[in-house]
Chain A
Amino acid sequence: MHDDTSGGSDARARGMMAEATPFLRASGIEKHYGQTRALDGISLDIANGEFLTLLGPSGSGKTTFLMILSGFVSASAGSLHELGTDITRRPPEARDYGMVFQGYALFPHMSVEDNVAFPLRVRGMERGTRRTLVHDMLARVGLAAHARKKVSQLSGGQQQRVALARALVFRPRVLLLDEPLSALDKNLREQMQAELRSLQRDSDTTFVFVTHDQAEALHLSNRIAIFDQGRLQQVGSPEDVYERPENRFVAEFLGQINLFPVSGLRAEAGRMTGAFEGTALVAPERALAPGAAHLAVRPENLRITAARPEGAVNALQASVEEAVYGGARINLVLRTASGTPVLCDLPAGSDAGLVTPGSPVWLSWEPEKCLLLPQDA
């Protein structure tokens, strides 16, 4: 009883130490389909017990990478190691990883309990133990009452739970999930996200989760690996990738962001100053190729005032073009004097007098709330 609660944090602690002996290490993974490179040199360490999300638009290579982890697709180049052992050529049935497929891939000719019992039966577990484990697992995903039903009699959310139960019942070290929530409606999806998180916490299993939904990735993950065009764009905690995107793709893929092209960058006392449409803008210093760059600022980090705020480092004059009421937040579209559109996201009720279309305002933000991104990419 006493170590039940510490199981999850142990897993995370082990995850922290993964630098020394990576649990799973992908090195230089490539996958070619004829002339196209679905994956182009992916190197990524996965820590034991973490919830890692592979995020990217469709065709970015995230699912291909998951399939290579599972062993269903073989890499054209590169290697895969588990605790130092080369498993690049190990067939899927010998990897002992659980997998939840898009569309669930349940066995339609079996009952719910037979579906969940399948991996145990394959492992030669005797009937009594099997039954206990299956029923514990079904109870955990809230399907104890549906054990004898056929899978076709269940709703989408219930089928999803069967798929999860079946993938976790044999206590795999790794659970691979390929867009498991994409078929569910919004409410159910949010509920399942919470369940996934708690299942992951309790089961001490490494989750590798594929999605194209950035909000889902931010909610669920310990770390997010962002894919685009077969390349790994950035890996980091949700906060890292959202607050400190390394390039334009990551910045624009996660949430919304305003990009101001700036030129003539100069570094000075830990900050960099550049010119945007004749106005000097300041951001934290960053190693960049000389020349032009983008200054990026999230809509929620902008402030709106009637007059230029006293002492503001970054301030631009703009006019409100459109204000959309969204309950808790108000979304504004503004234009700078020279016509560059700017998105702004304010808490509802703040500065209500200013957010009428046509009104001239000042936009300002702290230098620490913005960052510089390289021009290309």
Chain B
Amino acid sequence: MDLEILWNGLLMIVDEGAFAIVRTSMSKVVVEGRDFGAMLYDPRGNLLAADISIASKTGATSIVVKELLEHFPPETLAPGDVLASNNPWWIMGHLNDIAIVCPIFNGRKLVAFAECIAHMGDIGGSLSGAPREVYEEGLIIPPLKIGTRAGENETFFSMLQANVRIPGHVAGDVRALIAGCRVMEERVAAFLERHGMTDLSRIGGTVLERSERTMRAAIAAAIPNGVYRGSTTVDALGEVLTIAVKATAKDGRLEFDFDGSSPQSLLGINSTLVYTGVWCKYITKCLVCPELPNNEGTFAPITVKAPVGTFVNPTFPAPVKMKPSTGHYIPTAIVNALADVVPDRILAESGNKFLVYLSGRDEAGAAFSDMMFVMGGMGARANKDGLHCMSFPANSSNLPVEVLEASIPVRVRHKRLRTDSGGAGRFRGGCGQEFEFESVSATPMTVRAEHGKLYTTPLGLRGGKAGASGGIAVNGSAVADKSAVALARGDVMNLQTPGSGGAYPPGERDPAALERDVENGIVSARSAGADYR
């Protein structure tokens, strides 16, 4: 009975930690983009609660607390200690994500850990898209104690600030994470006092046990015992890599084995096993029980393995900076594997999005540098059409044209849906878009677009057709993705984001829906005749 209230109390602790980060952070990525997370763990490093109302990090599966415990056993920790790391193999897959971990004591008893992570605006390293080792990608922070009750470790902060391009912001953000942990420490004490507890073991045990039981039941109900295989492709600068997955369901447990996936890449698109796991857990939750809270119990029935040396489990010191370019396709491979057993929850392959980086100097000579997302289509679902220009699985927002033009010297010529880019099917894939802009800058600007499918198409499911692949062109000539181009005044860049796959045979589409699509220009009359027979 009191469980709901106590559980809400734990969530309130992480919410307050998250607000403390927003209040004290310096950077746009954290304050506006909400690219951070606040989490509470038990003394063994099991996740009890993760903030989902304020922060956008869904990676509630970092193993950094457990790893740090290896280096700093409980008996070496004292109240006020602050631990840190940014190991991509433990946290969110690249050096930009720094984790701060603080032990929480009640008297002399270790009762919990607070962990706060955030994406730093910069972490040093090369700006080119071509590092061949993680060493080139920025500052590596080993497991460190960067503060005690007596204060912060000045040596660490000096090293950090000397190695990044925006030292004030990065140091400020690290301090914001510490502030987030401190607030959680205070709130845990208040929580224990209010409810007359000495530690969190009982409530924590109940939360994990209930969540795990529910997740197992949900998996068992949705996925019959068996072995299911699927795959998808990832564009890697002219090369096509394969993510292969074998999903084994057994009595409410799910194992994902990525044996057969391509070897690790020379490009920084490698996804560390922890980051691969983030997306395995995300899509499992989507498929079987979306409303479950993010904690260790919920994810306990899921195991993830991949041969060492594949691009979904690369070995140190592989480059990993562009890990979303692989990670974001892992859910697709899993859905493809399970499409026939969870036919009512599927979605066809999505077009993801382009990340577009623009930098240069404005008329007054001041430097500008910004990034925007241009979304592709989201695939057709089990019983409805896909969505136009909606990024899946990672979520983000577009940059309004008016805001873009007010901050960067470009003029957008058009931004429109790409007719016929959604794959045909009983349920049509969502369309991608055509986004065309012209430089009005006095001096050349540098533009780089990456992440979308250019050489492969987002495939349909269960008889649905593929959506259109993407394209990038400057003044009418095709350009490769992930490569920087210079735009002089008057040069025009054209981005065509991929559409997405359809579901079920196009011949089964409701004629009224097809007619509406033609009327609204989503499907051309030609395609209606040719692709929907």
Bound pair (A, B) = no
Chain B interface (Cβ within 8 Å of chain A)?
none
